[in-house]
Amino acid sequence: MKPPDQRVQSALQGRMLVITGAGLSADSGLQTFRGAGGLWRNHNPMNLATPEAFVRDPRLVWEWYEWRRREASKAEPNPAHLAIARRASRPKDCLVVTQNVDDLHERARTPFDRLVHVHGDLFRNRCNHCEYSDREVLEGQALPPQCPQCKAGLLRPGVVWFGEMLDPRVLLRVDDFIRLGRCDLVLLIGTTAAFPYIVDWATRAKDHNGILVEINPEQTVISEMADVVYRQRAAEVLPELLSC
């Protein structure tokens, strides 16, 4: 890894916004969505990750998310997850905003109050009719179970599907972190930044005289805005970069 320059060195001691995507968990063996061999290369997301798809074929959607839960449970946090968790545990303010629905940030011991899941939680079940939700492990269920509360809905994975709104509480947490203080360093790790709110958060956080660092083996829509780019895997760069 090329040694971080002086600007990054001092920014590393400052207030930090960390935005992560599927590429971070790629080093733990989990498939990304759009990269080579990505999930959306082999599956049509409109048949698996929309409320309409769930109504159309609940068994297909349920089985696919059961498979993803098994894959995520088998995976382990990698050195990049651990480095982020160590940095987020330091007194200096830091917020980890992840698009990932796996629980590898938590298993790496990222402090709960410094972690935001913007696309939900793979291991949460929620009713598609009422407000009910739980984190029960429902192994071996062929079909999505009926909601134990309203008995009218079906339990679905607690993730944000295409066409669905983000949780307003999540939006507020990220907006508050960006608004309430200068972000000295914005780290963008393993994401194509496919969603406008990711680009918006990264650029707004950078606008407070912050340094934007991208870690991704491939070019993305954000690359041109980045001050420093590491065209490498997250697990190769972060342990050393965040130990500075």
CB of 29 to ligand APR, least distance (A): 10
Q: How far apart are CA 3 and CA 16, in angstroms?
A: 19
- Asked whether 108 and 82 are in contact (CB, 8 A), the reply is yes
Helices and strands, number each (H, E), in the chain: 10, 9
CB of 235 to ligand APR, least distance (A): 6
- Of 34 and 173, which CB lies nearer to ligand APR in the complex structure? 34
Only one residue has tokens 């509360």, namely 149
- Asked whether 229 and 214 are in contact (CB, 8 A), the reply is yes
CB of 237 to ligand APR, least distance (A): 8
Q: How far, CA to CA in Å, does 139 sit from each of 69, 78, 84, 135?
A: 10, 26, 31, 12
- Of 125 and 192, which CB lies nearer to ligand APR in the complex structure? 192
- Of 88 and 160, which CB lies nearer to ligand APR in the complex structure? 160
- Of 147 and 188, which CB lies nearer to ligand APR in the complex structure? 188
In terms of DSSP H, where are the helices of 17-100? 22-26, 39-42, 51-56, 58-74, 79-88
**151: phi then psi, degrees, rounded to nearest 5:** 60, 5
| Chain residue at closest Cβ approach to ligand APR | 23
Nearest to 97 by CA among 116, 81, 73: 116
Positions in the binding site for ligand APR (CB under 6 A):
21-23, 26-27, 32-35, 38, 99, 119, 190-192, 194, 215-218, 220, 233-234
Q: In degrees, to the nearest 5, what angle opens at C-alpha 103 toward C-alphas 100 and 104?
A: 90
- Of 187 and 211, which CB lies nearer to ligand APR in the complex structure? 187
CB of 56 to ligand APR, least distance (A): 19
The secondary element (H helix, E strand) that includes residue 172 is: helix 168-179
- Expressed in percent and rounded to 5, the helix, strand and coil fractions of the chain are 40, 20, 45
Instruction: Enumerate the active-site residues.
Output: 119
CB of 120 to ligand APR, least distance (A): 9
Q: How far apart are CA 74 and CA 104, in angstroms?
A: 11
